[in-house]
């Protein structure tokens, strides 16, 4: 119920006025108090149900994962499908650890300048607390399922300190970075939960927790940008408009597409990797579908004018905007 309440706020992208913005932050903060999760209290790691066994068909990837839906994967022997599935789930979680570390670092830099009484301080620290628990549960799964997995690509892990500092000087740009990571993984996990009926219950429990709390985190990013972007000068708005699709595409590739070392570890041939990310018509449509919500936000903020739209098309993520948050994906070609 609380997550649904927060998601209703996510859909409101019109400027609310200062008082409305403060009320939204209070609602999100109250929701974090009423419903939150502890990585080592709300997951029964050592229960028989969650036991990690190498020879377990529940680690076989479903069609909801791009790898699981490809003929190359489906043609592998059962044992190899299980091994690739375990690696893939651990790799997604380890990438999540890296991205959450970026998010937490940036929020802390941003809050250094927060004035007393600023409601952003309370909600942002709620979010940082929740992201810390996400890191704990992601890392615990990696440790148990596939500790040799790799996470985010090297370019991202190397630049995390530099990206985090952006929040101090250009916070609106940093919140775009947040959406670039949160929107794709939220989309992927919702698809897996909707379409998978026989996945491993440990992974499903982790995704359920993550999706529930990410609804608030994505809502905060949307609400923050809706409140602050209209007050920017024309130079900063132009920078946001032109960089928005580039940041989204880079974030998507880092989150959804395994790094080259991870592809090699899973044995994915280079030609299959190209088809999966994003050379085939089906994969290009999937890429566009990831960002229908963000296109709606960018339109509402006036950041998708004629020239920026060319950048969206060049990045392969243009299409029609969603009519409401979490609308079933059906992006225009």
- CATH code of the domain in which 202 resides: 1.10.620.20
Enter the tokens of residue 311: 């950048």
The rounded percent of the chain whose pLDDT value lies above 90 is 80
Give domain status of residue 282, yes or no.
yes
pLDDT at 238: 97
Q: Is residue 5 part of a domain?
A: no
pLDDT digit string (tens) for 113-170? 899 999 999 999 999 999 999 999 999 999 999 999 999 999 999 999 999 999 999 9
Once rounded to an integer, what is the mean pLDDT over residues 251-276? 95
Q: What percent of the chain has pLDDT over 70?
A: 92
Average pLDDT over residues 286-296: 91
Number of domains in the chain: 1
pLDDT, position 323: 80
Residue 16 is predicted with a pLDDT of 54
Confidence of residue 331 (pLDDT cuts 50, 70, 90): very low
Per residue in 190-237, pLDDT (tens digit) is 888 887 667 899 999 999 999 999 999 999 999 999 999 999 999 999
Q: Return the pLDDT at 198.
A: 76
In a domain, residue 300? The reply is yes
Domain that holds residue 226: 11-314
Question: Is residue 327 domain-resident?
Answer: no
What is residue 194's predicted lDDT score, i.e. its pLDDT?
81
pLDDT tens digit string along 303-319? Answer: 999 999 999 999 999 99
Does residue 69 lie in a domain region? yes
274 near 282, Cβ under 8 Å?
no
Pairwise CA distance, residues 212 & 202, whole Å: 16
pLDDT of 10 reads 38
| pLDDT of 270 over the 90 cut | yes
**Residue 60: per-residue pLDDT:** 95
pLDDT of residue 328: 61
pLDDT surpasses 80 at 325: no
Indicate whether 332 pLDDT > 90: no
Between 17 and 272, the higher pLDDT residue: 272
For the purposes of burial, counting CB atoms within 10 Å of the CB of 328, is it exposed (0-12), middle (13-18) or buried (19 or more)?
A: exposed
224: which 2 tokens? 């923050």
58: nearest Cα among 230, 261, 256, 200: 200
Specify the pLDDT at position 193: 84
Determine, yes or no, domain membership for 328.
no
Question: Does 326 reside within a domain?
Answer: no
pLDDT at 13 over 50: no
**Amino acid 190: pLDDT:** 86
């Amino acid at each position: 119920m609380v997550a649904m309440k927060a998601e209703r706020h996510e859909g409101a992208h019109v400027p609310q006025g200062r008082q409305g913005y403060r009320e939204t932050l209070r609602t999100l903060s109250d929701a974090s108090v009423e419903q939150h999760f502890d990585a080592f209290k709300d997951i029964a790691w050592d229960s028989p149900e969650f036991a990690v066994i190498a020879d377990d068909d529940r680690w076989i990837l479903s069609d909801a994962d791009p790898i699981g839906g490809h003929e190359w994967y489906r043609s592998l022997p059962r044992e190899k499908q299980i091994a690739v599935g375990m690696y893939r789930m651990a790799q997604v979680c380890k990438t999540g650890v890296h991205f959450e570390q970026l998010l937490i670092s940036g929020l802390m830099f941003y809050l250094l300048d927060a004035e007393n009484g600023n409601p952003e301080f309370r909600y942002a620290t709620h979010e940082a607390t929740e992201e810390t628990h996400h890191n704990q549960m992601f890392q615990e799964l990696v440790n148990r399922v596939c500790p040799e997995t790799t996470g985010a690509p090297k370019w991202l892990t190397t630049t995390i300190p530099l990206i985090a500092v952006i929040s101090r000087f250009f916070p609106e740009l940093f919140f775009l970075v947040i959406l670039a990571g949160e929107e794709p993984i939220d989309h992927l996990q919702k698809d897996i939960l909707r379409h998978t009926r026989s996945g491993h219950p440990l992974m499903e429990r982790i995704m359920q927790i993550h999706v529930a709390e990410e609804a608030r985190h994505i809502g905060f990013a949307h609400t923050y940008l809706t409140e602050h972007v209209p007050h920017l000068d024309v130079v900063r708005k132009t920078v946001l408009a032109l960089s928005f699709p580039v940041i989204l595409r880079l974030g998507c590739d880092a989150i959804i597409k395994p790094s080259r070392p991870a592809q090699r570890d899973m044995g994915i041939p280079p030609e299959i990797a190209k088809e999966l990310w994003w050379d085939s018509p089906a994969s290009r449509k999937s890429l566009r579908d990831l960002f229908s919500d963000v296109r709606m936000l960018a339109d509402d903020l006036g950041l998708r004018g004629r020239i920026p739209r060319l950048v969206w098309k060049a990045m392969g993520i243009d299409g029609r905007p969603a009519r409401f948050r979490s609308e079933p994906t059906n992006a225009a070609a």
